[in-house]
């Protein structure tokens, strides 16, 4: 079966169905535009998302055939969970994770990232509340900062404005 678009998500799906055939994918596969995988029921699914950039989410429905839904399931992975106690800790933790170019995810009040032993040791040494767990990485944060001038921001980016504020206090 070739899939070219997501039909919906189980969170809002209201039509009747007989069963679900789960398509397990890893967190890093959610942004793939072309892939071929097998569902847990053995159905081969080929996806070609060529239109616009997308990111599959847990519970996305890719196919509905004969009352059976093929649904994306993001499998749990080994990850580092961090519980910042205040905004200052949150900023420092995000800096350390960004410095390693690791993806960052949120789950309520916790920060999550794929497990990295050196980062874990570093954060523990700095006194942060961390643990190693097997969890789904579901809510990625956009962490790309582009320090370029932009017409939309009046010729300066957020990065430039922060730098100007910092330099003004020196």
Per-residue pLDDT band at 170 (split at 50, 70, 90)? very low
Per-residue pLDDT, 148: 47
Average pLDDT on 156-160 reads 59
User: Distance between CA atoms of 57 and 13, rounded to whole angstroms?
Assistant: 14
21-30, 79-88, 142-151: the lowest-pLDDT one: 142-151
> In this predicted model, which residue has the larger pLDDT, 96 or 162?
96
Per-residue pLDDT, 41: 93
Say whether pLDDT at 129 is over 90: yes
In tens, the pLDDT along 3-22 reads: 888 988 998 888 888 899 99
Say whether pLDDT at 25 is over 90: yes
**Torsion sign, CA atoms 8, 12, 18, 23:** positive
Structure tokens belonging to residue 167: 């330099």
Average pLDDT on 109-138 reads 95
Say whether pLDDT at 34 is over 80: yes
In tens, the pLDDT along 52-85 reads: 777 899 999 999 888 899 999 999 999 999 999 9
Angle at 146 between CA 142 and CA 147, to 5 degrees: 140
Per-residue pLDDT, 125: 95
Helix (H) or strand (E) holding 71: strand 68-74
Ordered domains of the chain (ranges, CATH) = 2-74 (2.60.260.20), 77-135 (3.30.70.790)
For 32, the 3-state DSSP assignment is coil
User: Distance between CA atoms of 115 and 18, rounded to whole angstroms?
Assistant: 37
Per-residue pLDDT, 165: 60
């Amino acid at each position: 079966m070739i899939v070219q678009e997501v039909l919906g998500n189980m969170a809002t799906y209201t039509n009747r169905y007989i069963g679900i055939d789960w398509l397990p994918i890893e967190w890093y596969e959610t942004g793939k535009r072309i892939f071929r995988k097998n569902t847990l029921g053995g159905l081969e699914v080929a996806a070609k998302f060529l239109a616009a950039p997308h990111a599959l989410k847990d519970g996305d429905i890719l196919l509905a055939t004969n009352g059976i839904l093929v649904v994306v399931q993001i499998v749990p992975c080994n990850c580092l969970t961090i519980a910042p106690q205040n905004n200052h800790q949150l900023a420092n933790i995000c800096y350390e994770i960004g410095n390693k170019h690791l993806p960052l995810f949120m789950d309520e009040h916790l920060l999550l990232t794929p497990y990295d032993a050196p980062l874990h040791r570093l954060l523990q040494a700095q006194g942060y509340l961390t643990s190693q767990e097997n969890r789904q990485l579901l809510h990625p944060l956009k962490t790309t900062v582009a320090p370029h001038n932009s017409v939309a921001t009046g010729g300066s980016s957020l990065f430039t404005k922060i730098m100007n504020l910092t330099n003004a206090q020196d």
